[in-house]
């Protein structure tokens, strides 16, 4: 059975792409969430947006919950629906938002895993003089030095680097750009990689990090490479790109105690997103306290 509201769905996705300027990955996430609800509408033979009520949204939410969707996925699904209905109100398709007032199941906040300073140093210091070894060294040093997301890292072009000033221009979520400092070890690793890169990259390839074939690295290629490097570098568990970003944020906050600075460096739109690292910082302080304070140590 074909889904209803296909023209409205198409108009909404065009709006997300052109006016909101969301990335293709984010747009796809909205589309998948919306399609789940449109499939429900088809099963209930709902063909008029104004006939959709809070009861329908709640029933669809409960059905997805029973199918095993996590609280995090359900919250995103509900957020996508609210955005679609708000768009419908502006277009005159709807009078009220039937998703308003509904809440998805609570999500237990899990603190991101981080490496301590010594572990981070051990991981990023790749001692491999092969061309791809120098690429891997530069890649890890830059992610940890500047706290980059994976998509930001593989999206970098050579022209985004200014090693003389020790800076990199990064395009983050919503196509927002920010300029970030690049530390001395990362600059040295990048210079070594750029010397090798010129022998691999085609003249028309702008990407900073490329494969052995001279093409821009993919998300999956970097994830797999970090899994291999985790073993090679003697890490206790696999290190993924976001763990390096989390470690950067935690170490910066631990040293500076400046939450606004860390927010700006990470490119977070809301400081509430950055505040998770204050919990990590407190955990570190609590551990030091337990080890150092004479009244905190349990007597045997």
Which one is catalytic: 30, 40, 144, 277? Answer: 277
Separation CA 188–CA 180 (nearest Å) = 16
Which one is catalytic: 3, 17, 56, 173? Answer: 173
Separation CA 253–CA 214 (nearest Å) = 37
79 token code pair: 């957020």
Active site residue 268: yes
Active site residue 144: no
Which one is catalytic: 149, 178, 215, 240? Answer: 149
Buried residues in 137-172 as b, exposed as e (16+ CB within 10 A)? bbbbbbbbbbbbbbebbbbbebebbeeeeebbebbb
Which one is catalytic: 9, 58, 242, 284? Answer: 242
Q: Which residues are within 8 A (CB) of 250 and not within 5 positions of it... i.e. 6 or more apart?
A: 114, 277, 280, 281, 284
Active site residue 242: yes
**What DSSP letter does each residue of 239-279 carry, written as one string?**
--HHHHHHHHHHHHHHHH--HHHHHHHHT-SSHHHHTHHHH
Which one is catalytic: 137, 187, 225, 245? Answer: 245
Residues belonging to the active site: 149, 173, 242, 245, 268, 277
């Amino acid at each position: 059975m074909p889904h209803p509201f296909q023209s409205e769905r198409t108009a909404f996705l065009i709006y997300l792409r052109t006016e909101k300027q969301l990335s293709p990955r984010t747009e796809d996430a909205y589309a998948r969430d919306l399609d789940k609800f449109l499939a429900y509408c088809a099963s209930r033979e709902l063909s008029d947006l104004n006939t959709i009520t809070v009861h329908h949204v709640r029933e669809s939410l409960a059905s997805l919950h029973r199918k095993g969707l996590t609280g995090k996925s359900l919250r995103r699904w509900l957020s996508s629906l609210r955005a679609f209905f708000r768009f419908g109100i502006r277009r005159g398709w709807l009078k009220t938002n039937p998703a308003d007032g509904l809440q998805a199941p609570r999500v237990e906040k899990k603190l991101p895993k981080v490496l301590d300073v010594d572990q981070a140093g051990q991981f990023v210091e790749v001692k491999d003089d092969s061309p791809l070894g120098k690429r891997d060294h530069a890649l890890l040093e830059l992610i940890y030095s500047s706290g980059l997301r994976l998509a930001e890292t593989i999206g970098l072009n050579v022209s985004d680097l200014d090693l003389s000033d020790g800076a990199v221009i990064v395009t983050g979520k919503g196509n927002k750009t920010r300029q970030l400092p690049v530390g001395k070890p990362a600059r040295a690793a990048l210079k070594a990689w750029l010397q090798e890169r010129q022998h691999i990259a085609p003249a028309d390839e702008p990407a900073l990090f490329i494969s052995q074939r001279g093409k821009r690295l993919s998300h999956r290629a970097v994830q797999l490479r970090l899994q291999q490097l985790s073993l090679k570098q003697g890490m206790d568990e696999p290190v993924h790109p976001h763990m390096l970003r989390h470690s950067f944020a935690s170490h910066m906050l631990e040293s500076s105690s400046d939450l606004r600075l860390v927010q700006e460096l990470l490119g977070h739109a809301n400081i509430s997103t950055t505040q998770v690292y204050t919990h990590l910082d407190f955990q570190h302080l609590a551990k030091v306290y337990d080890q150092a304070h004479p009244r905190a140590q349990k007597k045997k």
